[in-house]
């Protein structure tokens, strides 16, 4: 699998990352192990997880796998902190204390003394961004994180954090949702990342599974949309607009003798500024379908057509700046 540099940093990762949001909850240890083996066999290196995934269960499962036949040297780990669980649900908390306590707990669950990339999971309007960035600096200087970045930040906050982090620790990456169904990052996040040397890690490049075409006629019983935990995650993309985009992707795939999954994933993976597309799956068989896109390159005409069909609304002031 091709490897890419994350922005202008020295970090190089596989251009597909393995997402673990469902691990230990909807994906058990045996299936997770099979996914990891398939991913590494395909040349993948980057595992994406978070302290909030299954309340730490995903990290613990990764740690148990790394303690077996998989060497820590074979993988790069990206984890996230800044969302903590309360009786009322998840709360964004990017304070220095919470971030560093969460990182220490993540390292213990993962069974490692460092992560390759550590991200602030979400923007916290209640905490001064200087304090949040200071936690990133402490993590790097203490050796607990090799590189740092932010996730799900708006464009202005991404740019502000990157400036506050200069010259050290320096931000390497921004993680955000990006697919043919969600191109909002193109308005400000991607331009900011490009200007400041950050690489984009694109989560849910298959539009939360909808772009595979699996929901064109019904909701499969074994799909995320039928899951108690993830139905609300998929539901926003089961509307008329999404349906029209899925049909456009299916038409393009038919003309290329490819699957909708291959077309949708290749579009994100090869979009300007993307360092890696994060793919998650319920089973190893599903994951392999994504891993087999390595030889897929979209013709310029197909990419242009999909760009036109899915173009995000751009108004004032972005339109004047473009």
What is residue 232's predicted lDDT score, i.e. its pLDDT? 76
pLDDT tops 70 at residue 63 = yes
- pLDDT greater than 60 at residue 117: yes
- The structural domains of the chain, ordered by start, are 3-207+269-297 (3.20.20.100)
Please write the tens of the pLDDT for every residue from 194-235: 999 999 999 999 999 999 998 776 666 566 655 666 667 777
**What mean pLDDT comes out for the span 284-299?**
95
* Residue 170, pLDDT score: 96
pLDDT value at position 216?
Answer: 78
pLDDT band at 314 (very low <50, low <70, confident <90, very high): confident
Closest residue by Cα to residue 207 from 251, 250, 165: 250
Q: What is the pLDDT of residues 118-160, one digit of tens each?
A: 999 999 999 999 999 999 999 999 999 999 999 999 999 999 9
pLDDT the model gives residue 84: 81
Q: pLDDT: is 167 or 238 the higher one?
A: 167
Model confidence band, residue 237 (pLDDT cutoffs 50, 70, 90)? confident
pLDDT class of 288 with cuts at 50, 70, 90: very high
CA distance 274 to 64: 30
Lowest average pLDDT, out of 31-35, 94-98, 102-106, 209-213, goes to: 209-213
Identify whether 53 is a catalytic site residue: yes
Q: How far is CA 214 from CA 182, 198, 218, 259, 315, in A?
A: 18, 33, 8, 11, 33
pLDDT at 205: 97
- pLDDT reported for residue 225: 52
Considering the candidates 53, 147, 178, 215, report the single residue annotated as catalytic: 53
pLDDT digits (tens, 9 = 90+) for 73-92: 999 999 999 998 776 677 99
pLDDT at 218: 61
182 membership: H or E segment, kind and range: none
pTM for the predicted model, two decimal places: 0.94
Q: Which residue has the higher pLDDT, 87 or 245?
A: 245
For the chain, the average pLDDT equals 93
What is the reported pLDDT for 230?
Answer: 66
Q: What percent of the chain has pLDDT over 90?
A: 81
User: Given this model, what pLDDT does residue 69 score?
Assistant: 78
pLDDT of residue 282: 86
Long-range contacts formed by 251-256: CB under 8 A, 24+ apart: 252/302, 252/305, 252/306, 255/302, 256/298, 256/299, 256/302
Distance CA 68, CA 61 (A): 11
Q: Is 17 helix (H, G, I), strand (E, B) or coil?
A: strand
């Amino acid at each position: 699998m091709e490897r890419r540099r994350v922005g202008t940093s020295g970090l190089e990762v596989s251009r597909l990352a393995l997402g673990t949001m469902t691990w230990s909850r909807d994906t058990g240890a045996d299936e997770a192990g099979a996914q990891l083996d398939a991913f590494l066999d395909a040349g993948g290196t980057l595992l994406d997880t978070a302290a909030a995934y299954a309340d730490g269960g995903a990290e613990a499962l990764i740690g148990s796998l790394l303690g077996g036949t998989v060497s820590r040297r074979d993988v790069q780990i990206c984890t996230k902190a800044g969302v903590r669980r309360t009786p009322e649900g998840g709360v964004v908390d990017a304070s220095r204390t919470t971030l560093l306590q969460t990182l220490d707990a993540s390292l213990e669950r993962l069974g490692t003394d460092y992560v390759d990339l550590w991200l602030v999971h979400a923007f916290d309007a209640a905490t001064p961004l200087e304090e949040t960035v200071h936690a990133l600096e402490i993590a790097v200087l203490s050796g607990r994180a090799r590189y740092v970045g932010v996730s799900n930040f708006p464009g202005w906050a991404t740019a502000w954090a990157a400036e506050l982090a200069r010259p050290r620790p320096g931000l390497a990456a921004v993680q955000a949702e990006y697919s043919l169904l969600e191109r909002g990052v193109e308005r400000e996040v991607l331009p900011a990342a490009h200007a400041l040397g950050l690489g984009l890690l694109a989560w849910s490049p298959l539009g939360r599974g909808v772009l595979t075409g699996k929901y064109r006629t019904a909701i499969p019983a074994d799909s995320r949309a039928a899951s108690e935990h993830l139905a609300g995650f998929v539901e926003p993309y089961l509307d008329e607009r999404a349906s029209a985009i899925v049909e456009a992707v299916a038409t393009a795939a038919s003309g290329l003798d490819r699957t909708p999954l291959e077309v949708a994933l290749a579009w994100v993976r090869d979009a300007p500024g993307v360092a890696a597309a994060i793919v998650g799956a319920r089973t190893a068989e599903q994951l392999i379908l994504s891993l087999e896109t390595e030889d897929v390159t979209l013709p310029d005409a197909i990419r242009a057509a999909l760009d036109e069909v899915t173009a995000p609304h751009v108004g004032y002031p972005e339109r004047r700046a473009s």
